[in-house]
């Protein structure tokens, strides 16, 4: 698939930066002319991925988070969220609904939400080395009026 456009941002794992990441991804995705529902889905998925980095990758320290957004031909949006934190011991277990390592206040639904709002979700992680989440969504093209 041919890449049409891309951008990347890097920021500290402060919870305040979650809103920045979701807004940046939504603005970038806007060039594909998504519906408001599609934009909302994208923003929610990015929020979940970045929040996972803040809560799970760097629970006791600040670290860096990278968000890369890319557009491919055929209106495919790809969003990568990467951290260099703790990593995930068992990715399959972590992707199960209601599983969390974040305490009682966490729902354990982050990966499930990302998967439900995007067409594809890939998670790679190495304990002690960090996690990379890659999400893809095809933005349906509407007829121009």
Whole-prediction pTM value? 0.89
In a domain, 144, yes or no: no
Q: pLDDT, tens digit, for every residue of 77-99?
A: 999 999 999 998 877 777 676 55
Phi, then psi, of 23 in degrees rounded to 5: -65, -45
Range of the domain at 10: 3-138
More confident residue, 45 or 95: 45
CATH classification at residue 29: 3.30.565.10
Any domain includes 98: yes
* Structural domains of the chain, count: 1
The pLDDT assigned to 90 comes to: 75
Helices of type H across the chain: 17-29, 36-52, 91-94, 110-117
Which of 72, 70, 51 is CA-nearest to residue 134? 70
* Residue range 105-138, pLDDT digits in tens: 555 577 888 999 999 999 999 999 999 999 999 9
Active site residues: 48, 52, 106
CA distances from 23 to 20, 47, 120, 133 (A): 5, 9, 21, 18
Q: Is 76 among the domain residues? A: yes
Task: Please give the DSSP secondary-structure letter assigned to residue 110.
Answer: H
């Amino acid at each position: 698939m041919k890449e049409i456009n891309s951008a990347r941002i890097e920021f500290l794992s402060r919870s305040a930066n979650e809103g920045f990441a979701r807004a940046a991804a939504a603005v970038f995705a806007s060039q594909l002319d998504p519906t408001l529902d599609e934009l909302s889905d994208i923003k929610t998925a990015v929020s979940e991925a970045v929040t996972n980095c803040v809560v799970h990758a760097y629970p006791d320290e600040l670290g860096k988070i990278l968000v890369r957004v890319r557009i491919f031909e055929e209106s495919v949006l790809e969003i990568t969220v990467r951290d260099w934190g703790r990593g995930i011991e068992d990715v399959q277990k972590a992707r199960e609904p209601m599983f969390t390592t974040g305490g009682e206040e966490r729902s354990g639904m982050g990966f499930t939400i990302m998967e439900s709002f995007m067409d594809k979700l890939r998670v790679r992680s190495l304990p002690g080395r960090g996690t990379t989440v890659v999400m893809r969504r095809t933005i349906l093209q509407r007829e121009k009026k």
